[in-house]
Amino acid sequence: MEKQQTCKLDSSSNAPAELDYQSGFGNHFSSEAIPGALPQGQNNPLVCPFGLYAEQISGTSFTAPRKFNQRSWLYRIKPSVTHEPFKTRVPTHKKLVSEFNQNTSSANPTQLRWKPEEIPDSPTDFIDGLYTICGAGSSFLRHGFAIHMYAANKSMENCAFCNADGDFLIVPQNGRLWITTECGRLHVSPGEIVVLPQGFRFSVDLPDGPSRGYVAEVFGTHFQLPDLGPIGANGLAASRDFLVPTAWFEDGIHPGYTVVQKFGGELFTARQDFSPFNVVAWHGNYAPYKYDLNKFCPFNSVLIDHGDPSVNTVLTAPTEKPGVALLDFVIFPPRWLVAEHTFRPPYYHRNCMSEFMGLIYGKYEAKADGFLPGGASLHSCMTPHGPDTNTFETTVGRGTDAGPFKITDTMAFMFESSLIPRVCPWALESPHMDHNYYQCWIGLKSHFSYEGSDCCSGEMQS
């Protein structure tokens, strides 16, 4: 039996007073909203308890190795197939991309940074507030990723969203999300993340009104916990801290209920007369889940030098090449810096991986100014980047006697990929683009000195 955890919600929202969660990552879960609703001894009996329909949702191919196979059985009042034909959604959503090519996006090696997006003036729900920043690959070829942001001010009404292209990893930055899924309900606050696997239908309510955040989407694979290697058996994100919803269902007639499906980056709608959240019981290892980033156990250098950011990986979506990620989700949480004779902020570097960064709250240690909560930056493959001038000068000015220092009240993150992202035109043309970003490094000056040394100047010596 999986551990149950309870989340209490405040009375300012329309959410219930508390939620029960199941604990674990990749476990085989079982949950029923009505005792006895789960069939015993088989998945698909001739007649299910209470007259329910059995329906399987598969996140991997049927013949995937057992350790990779993901699927769940849902026992619902009406099957999800009971709907009208899909039609192209009107109006179309022109800022969602799942095929990255010269027609939809462009290559840009420049260091890019965006200021926080403003909350829309007109009523905008999660679907309409979602827009793509960059990405690579193709949802049709089942390989690649997309990075989106969202800004919304209203709850989804009488509709559900389904992403047929890939998994969503949502990072709320401002405003809580109250998410209803076919497996149950989740409450997600800034400082937490939620993963909504491919194919699940969900609805997003906004108990605080305006909300914005970040979304990573992966095609053709799923997120998993990274291997720990020499770290050993413990550390980073613990399996038990991931929370999965418990069964909850809606019954009754819902005329005109709309399912919005993202398919190849385009949106389609189908109408039905019932809520898709009519699952009375379910079991399996394919389900939505959430995680509190404050429970992350960071590792760090305790004597000299600076660890690579990969040591802060929460989740990874791997490729077939060992150690190379389609997309890593990495965080920079509160932690002690104690390394001696060491430049402690992130070092200057060029990387074969591409890095998209966001800031949930506080300040990021490598950027003293300009990188704001709700903002973002993109440093693509082999584009140099690192601490700004103020950070460098302040750090060096402390000298070697800085002593232990704790970074507090901050939570930054990075989506890092081995693929080279192409950037969407509206992101490059955005009024929130920081066109002066490059100037944060302009003040870096040469401290080179060789007077009195025996080294040569590099000129040919006769």
Of the pLDDT bands very low, low, confident and very high (cuts 50, 70, 90), residue 4 is: low
Q: Which of 254, 306, 432, 447 is catalytic?
A: 306
**How high is the pLDDT of residue 461?**
47
Vertex 315, ends 234 and 138: CA angle to 5°?
Answer: 155
306 an active-site residue?
Answer: yes
| Residues 195 and 221: beta-carbon distance below 8 Å | no
* Strand duo 325-332 + 18-23: pairing: unpaired
Nearest in space to 360 (alpha carbons), one of 192, 195, 124: 192
Distances (CA, A) of 198 to 63, 130, 185, 243, 415: 18, 17, 17, 18, 19
| Residues 194 and 340: beta-carbon distance below 8 Å | no
Is pLDDT of 11 > 60? no
- Counting residues of the chain whose pLDDT is more than 90, the rounded percentage is 86
Distances (CA, A) of 183 to 16, 21, 57, 196: 17, 11, 11, 11
355 is in an annotated binding site: yes
Tokens of 348: 């200057």
pTM across the whole model: 0.94
Cis status, amide bond into 334, omega within 30 of 0: no
The CB density around residue 383, as the number of other CB atoms within 10 Å, is: 16
Kindly list the domain boundaries of the chain, sorted by start residue: 83-277+287-292, 294-441
The CB density around residue 43, as the number of other CB atoms within 10 Å, is: 14
Q: Which residues pair with 53 in a beta bridge?
A: 76
For residue range 185-208, list pLDDT tens digits in order.
Answer: 999 999 999 999 999 999 999 999
Nearest in space to 97 (alpha carbons), one of 223, 329, 262: 262
Q: Does domain 83-277+287-292 have CATH number 2.60.120.10?
A: yes
Q: Which residues pair with 411 in a beta bridge?
A: 361
Q: Dihedrals φ, ψ of 36, to 5°?
A: 90, 0
d(CA 451, CA 454): 8
d(CA 245, CA 184): 5
447 is in an annotated binding site: no
Torsion over CA: 298, 303, 309, 310 (sign): negative
Residue type, 37: A
Asked if 83-277+287-292 and 294-441 have one fold, the answer is yes
Nearest in space to 337 (alpha carbons), one of 236, 396, 408, 413: 408
Tokens of 84: 């009208």
Is pLDDT of 456 > 80? no
Of the pLDDT bands very low, low, confident and very high (cuts 50, 70, 90), residue 377 is: very high
| Residues 444 and 388: beta-carbon distance below 8 Å | no
Nearest in space to 279 (alpha carbons), one of 353, 183, 170, 137: 183
The CB density around residue 429, as the number of other CB atoms within 10 Å, is: 8
Mean predicted confidence (pLDDT) in 298-308: 90
Distances (CA, A) of 106 to 99, 110, 141, 216, 326: 12, 12, 19, 19, 20
For residue range 390-405, list pLDDT tens digits in order.
Answer: 999 988 888 877 889 8
- CATH class of segment(s) 294-441: mainly beta
Burial of 3 (0-12, 13-18, 19+ CB in 10 A): exposed
| Residues 339 and 305: beta-carbon distance below 8 Å | yes
For residue range 234-260, list pLDDT tens digits in order.
Answer: 999 999 999 999 999 999 899 999 999
For residue range 326-352, list pLDDT tens digits in order.
Answer: 999 999 999 999 999 898 988 999 999
d(CA 341, CA 137): 42
Nearest in space to 108 (alpha carbons), one of 320, 317, 380, 348: 380
**How high is the pLDDT of residue 12?**
44
The CB density around residue 393, as the number of other CB atoms within 10 Å, is: 14
Of the pLDDT bands very low, low, confident and very high (cuts 50, 70, 90), residue 2 is: very low
Q: Find the DSSP H helices in 192-340.
A: none
291 is in an annotated binding site: no
435 is in an annotated binding site: no
Distances (CA, A) of 147 to 45, 50, 134, 220, 417: 41, 42, 5, 15, 11
Q: In sequence order, what are the residues at sequence separation of 6 or more whose Cβ sits closer than 8 angstroms to the Cβ of residue 142?
A: 219, 220
